[in-house]
Structure 1
Amino acid sequence: MSSTPPSPPPTPVPPPDAAADAQQVERAAELLAGRPFVVLTGAGISTDSGIPDYRGPDSPPRTPMTYQQFVGDAAFRRTYWARNHVGWRHVHRTRPNPGHEAIAAMEGRGAVVGVITQNVDRLHQLAGSRTVIDLHGTYADVICLSCGTRVSRDELAVRLEALNPGFAEAVGAVADVEIAPDADAVVESTEGFVVADCAVCGGLLKPDIVYFGENVPKERVARATALVDAAEALVVAGTSLTVLSGRRFVTQASRAGHPVVIINRGPTRSDHLADLRLEAGTTPTLRALATYL
């Protein structure tokens, strides 16, 4: 079987009533006008591309794997890679939605100076955004924890398929499997799945993703901090700001006296710092905002 993903499906279009109130969008545009701003994004911006989130109002309860579980238990690693072997095919074929495209368009016009994303799907880059900091890494790369060798997820897919011929087909068609965040999939049984070790040293391979319980690399935090420092405002789109890794930038912008606009369905942990809070879908709201900026 070829590891080449199928052609991407059409980008889903959210219902028109998911947009923020027109007056709120105008107010956001007034706050941001003439102020180069950073956009901080979370899983909520990718749900319209068919990638579910962890904490959205309609999301089922999920228990993500921790870094300690992954490195400390072979059974957890087998479960992760078996589920990922199925789920990555779905994420790999997803495409940017109009929300991603709106951000890229505003960057092209000079309104947006860069994107800090908590997502690992690389949809901002595919949409055309040039300055993107993948705060939590990316599903598209894999790293050896022993020797530091990096390989692409595409390359690893070939090895996993050779080690586990027919596994994905036995689980079921990708369209029939419940997809979880971070290129994961709900797979009932992973018994017998063979995990690939590093081809160079035989060490543990891990996706280049910051797991729960793992710290964001300091260099990456420093770049994101500098980007927020260089901007004059911050827009938060599609994240509940539950984890500190993203929330810190809202605090940073607020302390600097820069306007903070939050667009999210459901409350966030930094609502008290927002100059304007829009309870709305990110895709239509960003599209509306882009008509002003």
Structure 2
Amino acid sequence: MRLACAVAFIGLALTGTRYAYGQSQPSLPSVSTPTPPAHSGYPLPIGAGPAPVSEGPDGTHGPDGTEAAPLVPPHVEGDPRAFKPGSYCYVGPHPVDTRVVPGPSWDATEGQHMRPYPPLDLRLFAFRDGCYYFNGDPRDFGYGGATFPYYGAHPVLDTFGGGWCFMMGGHTHLWKPWSPYFAVVGQWNYWQGPYDPFFWAYWRYFATYYRSYYPHFYGGGRLYQGGGFHIAPPIRDMSYPGWRGMGPGRAPPTIRGMPPRQMVRPPGAGHPRPPSMGGDRRGHGQPGFDWTSRPMSPRPHGSFRGGDRH
């Protein structure tokens, strides 16, 4: 009896072995993730670490590879969210709706505070824990103090709302770069780290916004000029020419503040390129970096009041 059981067991094992080797086994990809350069005092933001194995949805193709409708980011369309009736929570400085609160166009209040008006344009804010964080260019909304210059899209530290700034070309923020994945190129802080699935899911939406809407409504303080107060309308069409036509080696699209050509050197081999219209998304080598970033000098003007500068 024992001998029969042993023979049967060996037969089943051999059968299973033949079956296993007779099937085509999927091969796992070999992924080498970079180790961020050593640094101190500047935590990396969520989503700014090594690139994932899969980039996730890009907002342009469905599961079967066919063209899909672009994804709309959360909290950028529809009604703004009040912290309590008639009161909106902000964290940090932000533009003022001077139609509701006459006076300077820039509110420099630090920390969490309440205001009786919602954000001017939800696409210029990150929404986190019930509060709004301004992540646009403060110099376009009346701020006249020192700022830090950035070039192209880059992640935003959680302290300042998290997520990504999708602005193309040269722009500024109030906060200093915090990650060694920012390289200083000329006067610009230039993101050379990876772009996570969240970025690629909503890049097409914001590329349309910053290419076709922002410069006409807000660039250079246009919101407060000419005696009007016009907010950019909702995005209805994201099918502009050239969305998928930008190949490797092409310059990134720019809206405003394009630095001289020699100032924006393309990354070396293995480094990610700045995002372009469907450009190169792969290649996440460890970049070189230079912590010599300096804030830009204040503009000569202060805040805007309607169509005037003060």
- TM-score above 0.5: no
Which structure's CA Rg is the greater one?
2
When the two structures are superposed, what TM-score results if normalisation uses the length of structure 1? Answer: 0.26
Asked which structure has the greater RCO (Cα within 8 Å, sep 6+), the reply is 1
Structure with more helix by fraction: 1
